[in-house]
Amino acid sequence: MAQVKYVSASRVYAKGAPPAVDALDLDIEDGEFMVLVGPSGSGKTTALRMLAGLEPLDGGSVEIGDRDVTFVPPKDRDIAMVFQNYALYPQKTVAENMGFALKMQRVPREQRDRRVREAARLLDLDDQLLERKPKQLSGGQRQRVAMGRAIVREPKVFLMDEPLSNLDAKLRVQTRGQIAELQRRLGITTVYVTHDQVEAMTMGHRVAVLRDGQLQQCATPRQLYDNPVNEFVAGFIGSPAMNLQTVPLTDGGARLAGATLPLPAAVRAAASTAGLSELVIGIRPEHLHLANGSGELGGEVMLVEELGADSLLHVRLAESGNAVVARAEGRKPPIPGQKVTFHVQLEDIFAFHPGTGARLAG
The residues of the shown chain that bind another protein, judged by CB under 8 A, are 52-54, 73-75, 79-81, 83-85, 87, 89-92, 100-101, 104-105, 149
Phi-psi map region of 322: left, alpha, beta (phi>0 left; psi -120 to 50 alpha): beta
- For the bound state, the minimum distance from the C-beta of residue 49 to another protein, rounded and expressed in Å, comes to 8
Closer residue to another protein in complex, CB, 15/332: 15
343: part of which helix (H) or strand (E)?
A: strand 339-343
- For the bound state, the minimum distance from the C-beta of residue 103 to another protein, rounded and expressed in Å, comes to 9
- For the bound state, the minimum distance from the C-beta of residue 149 to another protein, rounded and expressed in Å, comes to 8
- For the bound state, the minimum distance from the C-beta of residue 19 to another protein, rounded and expressed in Å, comes to 22
- β 323-329/310-317 pair status: antiparallel
Residue (of 220, 218, 216, 182) closest to 204 by Cα position: 220
Closer residue to another protein in complex, CB, 149/211: 149
Neighbours of 27 (CB within 10 A): 14
Torsion sign, CA atoms 349, 350, 352, 354 = negative
- For the bound state, the minimum distance from the C-beta of residue 100 to another protein, rounded and expressed in Å, comes to 5
Closer residue to another protein in complex, CB, 79/193: 79
Closer residue to another protein in complex, CB, 9/80: 80
Compute the chain's Rg from CA coordinates.
24
- For the bound state, the minimum distance from the C-beta of residue 353 to another protein, rounded and expressed in Å, comes to 41
Task: Please enumerate in sequence order all residues whose Cβ is within 8 A of that of 30, keeping only pairs 6 or more positions apart, or say none.
Answer: 1, 2, 3, 189
Closer residue to another protein in complex, CB, 97/217: 97
Residue (of 302, 297, 288) closest to 261 by Cα position: 297
φ, ψ for residue 146 (rounded to 5)? -60, -40
Calpha distance 303→320 (Å, rounded): 18
Q: In 96-200, at which residue ranges do the beta strands (DSSP E only) sit?
A: 157-161, 189-194
Closer residue to another protein in complex, CB, 142/172: 142
- For the bound state, the minimum distance from the C-beta of residue 101 to another protein, rounded and expressed in Å, comes to 4
Closer residue to another protein in complex, CB, 5/149: 149
Torsion sign, CA atoms 12, 166, 239, 300 = positive
Calpha distance 343→140 (Å, rounded): 45
Closer residue to another protein in complex, CB, 90/308: 90
- For the bound state, the minimum distance from the C-beta of residue 163 to another protein, rounded and expressed in Å, comes to 12
Closer residue to another protein in complex, CB, 166/320: 166
**Looking at beta carbons, which pairs linking 314-321 to residues 24 or more positions away fall under 8 Å?**
315/288, 315/340, 315/342, 317/256, 317/257, 318/257, 318/258, 319/257, 319/258, 320/245, 320/256, 320/257, 320/258
- For the bound state, the minimum distance from the C-beta of residue 153 to another protein, rounded and expressed in Å, comes to 8
Calpha distance 133→137 (Å, rounded): 7
246: part of which helix (H) or strand (E)?
A: strand 243-248
